Amino acid sequence: MFAVDRWAEAFISASAGKSVLRSLDEREYVAVQEGLVLLRTALKLFYKKFRYESGTYAASKMISITKDALKKCGYEEGSNRGVEAALSVLFLIIKKNRVIYGEKFCCAADSRSRTLAGILTVTLESAREPDEAFLRDLKSALSRKTGARIVEIIQKTDPALIGGRRLSIGTERLDCSLAGAMRRMRDFLEKTV
């Protein structure tokens, strides 16, 4: 079994240059994100070109291609811990034939690094575009309640909500929409009648 969370922790530690992870500063967070961009891109390329290969030879070939591309972009070897950690993870994922877990690994590392950096991402769905004052108050309240340094709000407009809003934070969902209230009322009436 591929231990995605353990690999993600090890990748973030290597990218940030820390052995114990309690938080990430902005520089460390950027290094992790740059490594993840490289890793996602290299895994997509590997999957397109060498899908049925694995082992040390395939991993070495992909690392060579990736390093050549980095050099053409002006990257100096050893100048970014995130990129170096991504190259190591890329090699191991290919060598151990775990490419199918690549995106799952990247998502786990991204989520964990955002948490360590104090970034909270929420999705706000509403029937119409919310005003700036509401968004500012929501960010402030969420920051106070969760301790997040940065609150990012992904806004979605869905006229089917009729009115009100629906807020999602991770796997938690708070439905304060008119459509949600009508659905709950219908479900209640169907159970009681």
Q: Which pLDDT does position 28 carry in this prediction?
A: 93
| pLDDT tens digit sequence for 92-117 | 999 988 888 999 999 999 999 999 99
Provide the pLDDT for residue 1: 53
> 173 is written with which tokens?
């969902």
149: its two tokens: 């340094």
**What pLDDT is stored for residue 171 in this prediction?**
83
pTM of the model: 0.74
Q: What is the pLDDT of residue 121?
A: 93
Q: Which residue ranges of the chain lie beneath pLDDT 70?
A: 1-2
Comparing CA positions, the residue from 69, 68, 89, 71 lying closest to residue 79 is 71
Q: Where are the domains of the chain?
A: 4-116, 119-192
Give 83's Cβ-side CA count (13 Å radius).
Answer: 12
Contact 44, 37 (CB under 8 A): no
DSSP assignments along 123-137, one per residue: EEEESSPPPHHHHHH
Q: Is 158 left (phi over 0), alpha (psi -120 to 50) or beta?
A: beta
